[in-house]
Structure 1
Amino acid sequence: MANNLTVRKYSKILTRPELPYFLIIWSTIFLCALGLTMVLSSSTVTSLQESGNSYSIFIRQFLFLILGAATAYWAFKVQGAIWLRLAKVSLTISIFILLLPFIPNLGKNINGNRNWIEIAGFTLQPSEFAKFGLILWCAFQLRRIDLVAGKNPIGLIFPGLVVIEGLIILERDLGTALLVLIIFGGILFVSGAPIKNFIAVAILASVISAVLIFSNSYRMSRFAALFDPFDERYYKFSGWQPAHSIMGLASGGLWGSGLGASKQKWANLAEAHTDFIFSVIGEELGLLGTLLVLALYAALIYSMLRIAIKTKDDFSRYATAGIACWFIAQVTVNIGSVTSIIPVIGVTLPFISYGGSSLLANLLAVGYVLGVARRTPEISEGIKLSRMRKLGR
């Protein structure tokens, strides 16, 4: 009898409309806290080599986290009508910021990609914010589907994709170009586009990937190293990162070697605090640590999709679903690269990897989704009832 009462109690909690709201808040807090901890653990060696201070990278990430939290709070509190006005011009804003890296003395070339700008000693990646801008613009366009009889969704948003994708390719950023295509495909799926549209996007993605890979010898070697990064032909070159990433994950076992005890971060695994931080998590926190990360992402994405379903506003629905697709794509591509399922293409792990631009853009998106939840009557009422229950105790 007691077991039945417990089951009923928890089943009621799981069906509460405010649950996605609180899941997003807590999963984001835990991911950011874990990310800050792992950036500290994985970056000390690099920090010491670059600046003579073991904590320089950690301090920068901490400052960006504070700024990101303020940005998320602003996005949460701002009125929905303002987002609609911003979405109307967000494509223009995205195009403008993507052109900034081409300005002399402002743009910066890192690892062959000209997709960075440097301001007052801080480097920013405009394409991180352009992804969010494209999602908002697509949502703004798709809300017109019901008003334009017989209009195919792809006809409304494809021109924006072409412009953004073209600028990102000019910056030679293959990872972001792939992510934008996946996000675009996800938005098309949510809009109910015909299957032929997905086939067209898949063909476009394949063509762009093939051109970018075969036009660059380094990318070709990365693709070849995918099948066996330990092969003598690739191991000391393009296979080095995926090989040592796999070593780190494999050596962690179930419980891990302990926080701060990674061996691969000692000059063996390049970008240990950015693109390959998931490998350090696997090595130091073990299989349980990696499963915890996946569970937190699952809770975050599930909650975003729940909110997208519950909201009655078409613009908010498409934008929230697009943001969920963004996180699905980025988490999948990053972990796929780390585990050598797909070639290494340089994509950060949301909220966890070092990178101010990524953290700011991710927290801005989360703040927007929480704002949508707050403006959804059913969820808003559930939040009020939850607060009353706490006060009643």
Structure 2
Amino acid sequence: MSGNLTMHKYSRFFARPELPYYLIIWSTLFLCALGLTMVLSASTVTSLSESGNTYSIFIKQFFFLIIGGFGFYWSHRVRGLIWPKIARYSLSISIIILLLPFIPNLGKNINGNRNWIEIAGFTLQPSEFAKFGLILWCALQLRKIGDAPSKLKNFLRLLPGLFVIEILILFGNDLGTALLVLIIFVGVLFISGAPMKLFAAIGVFGVVIGSAFVLSSNYRMGRFAALFDPFDERYYKFAGWQPAHSIMGLASGGLWGSGLGASKQKWANLAEAHTDFIFSVIGEELGLLGTLLVLALYAALIYSILRVALKTKDDFSRYVTAGVACWLIAQITINVGSATSLVPVIGVTLPLISYGGSSLLANLIAIGYVLGVARRTPEIADGIKASRLRKINQ
């Protein structure tokens, strides 16, 4: 009897319409706090070697977190009617900012990728903002299609926008981001009910272009070869170095971890420990329980975003919200897969946790948008009001 009462209590709790709103807020706050802590822990060695200051990378991340907090609040509170107006120009804006890295004295080449710009000592990655810009533009076009999702020609007009974005990203030699943008685009189309013929065409395009880029680079070929056994003598000191030491870090953490700040792999063994491989540092210092906590927070965030997408009645809001969910799912899967050697290393950050001002700012603006959609959805808004009244009456 008591078990049935407990089940009924929990089922009522998860059925509350306001739950996604609060889960988005708290999961985002916890992930940002954990990310800032782990960036401090994972970046000290790199900061000291690059600038002579142990806290230089942490300070930059904290600075962008503050800016991102303002962006999160703005996108949460701004009127919903503004977003379709922004979406009209978001593709053009995305194209313009993707051209910035090719401007002399502004663009910056990092690890062979020319997809960065440097302003006043800060490096920014325009492609992070282009992801959200493409989602907004696609959502607006899909809303115009309306109730005729079965007609292939209606969806074909989205492809030129995708091609331009992909070409500019690939010109910067950033295959990882190009793949991520393609996955986001396919996810949005799938949710909108696009015909399967279109997915087949996009799949063939993606395989051909991706294969051409991989086969034309010995380093990328090495990354694929090292995927199956990064400890192999042929790859260990080359393409297998990062995934091998990432696995070492995760394995040495055990259940409880070695303790915050006690990672050994970050001492020049694991390159990009504070960016692409921060999940490995979490596993080493906080153990299996720490990694499971991170995955649980992401699960709560994505679950809440998808619930908001299902609750909203506005097609534009639904497509954008679902697109943000696809973005997070794809990026988290690729990053964690790279850290655990389940997918090749392609240089993708862990949302809200990895060091990177552009990624953090773009993620917070996008999540803030979803929170704004939740606030404007009548069912969720009524639930928020009821929750506040219950707290006042208690």
Alignment of 1:1-393 (within 5 A): 1-146=1-146, 151-152=151-152, 154-393=155-394
Measure the CA separation in 2 of the matches of 1:5 and 1:149: 44
- The Cα shift of 1:199 comes to 2.0
CA distance in 2, matches of 1:100, 1:169: 14
* In structure 1, C-alpha distance between the alignment counterparts of 2:278 and 2:150, rounded to whole Å: 47
State the shift of 1:94 in Å: 0.2
Residue 4 of structure 1 aligns with an amino acid whose one-letter code is: N
TM-score (norm 1): 0.98
Distance in 2 of aligned mates of 1:147 and 1:173: 36
What secondary structure does 2:157 align onto?
A: helix
User: Quick one: which amino acid aligns to residue 326 of structure 1?
Assistant: W
Q: Contact conserved, 2:335 with 2:348, CA < 8 A, in 1?
A: yes
Offset of residue 208 of structure 1: 1.7
Given that 2:136 and 2:320 are in contact with CA atoms closer than 8 Å, whether structure 1 keeps it comes out as: yes
Query: How far apart in 2 are the matches of 1:242 and 1:3?
Result: 45
Partners of 2:149 and 2:354 in 1: CA distance: 44
Give the distance between the partners of 1:203 and 1:289, measured in 2 at CA.
39
Change (3 A) 1:354 1:270: same
8 Å contact kept, 1:145–1:151: no
Which deviations, in whole Å up to 9, do the C-alpha atoms of 1:113-164 show, x marking residues without a partner? 0000000110000000000000000000000122668533531321111110
C-alpha distance in structure 2 between counterparts of 1:9 and 1:154, whole Å: 45
User: Partners of 2:2 and 2:371 in 1: how far apart?
Assistant: 36
% identical aligned pairs: 76
Code of the residue aligned with 2:86 in structure 1: it is L
SS of match in other structure, 1:108: strand
Contact kept? 2:227, 2:342, Cα under 8 Å = yes
Task: Report the 3-state secondary structure (helix = DSSP H, G, I; strand = E; otherwise coil) of the residue aligned with 2:177.
Answer: helix
Secondary structure of 2:272 counterpart: coil
Q: Distance in 2 between matches of 1:149 and 1:74?
A: 33
Distance in structure 2 (CA, Å) of the matches to 1:151 and 1:119: 45
- Where do 5+ consecutive residues of structure 1 fail to align? none
Give TM-score, length-normalised by structure 2. 0.98
Instruction: Note if contact 2:150-2:195 (Cα within 8 Å) is conserved in structure 1.
Output: no
Task: Tell me if structure 1 keeps the 8 A contact 2:110–2:116.
Answer: yes
Give the whole-Å Cα distance in 1 for the aligned partners of 2:334 and 2:198: 22
User: Separation in 2 of the partners of 1:149 and 1:357?
Assistant: 34
Deviation of 1:35 after TM superposition, in Å, equals 0.4
For 2:86 and 2:174, locate their aligned partners in 1 and report how far apart those are by CA, in whole Å. 26
CA distance in 2, matches of 1:199, 1:332: 22
Alignment RMSD (CA, Å): 1.2
Q: In 2, are the aligned partners of 1:142 and 1:156 still within 8 Å (CA)?
A: no
Alignment size in residue pairs: 393
Instruction: Report deviation, 1:304.
Output: 0.6
Q: Letter of the aligned partner of 2:280 in structure 1?
A: S
Distance 1:304 1:150 in 2: 26
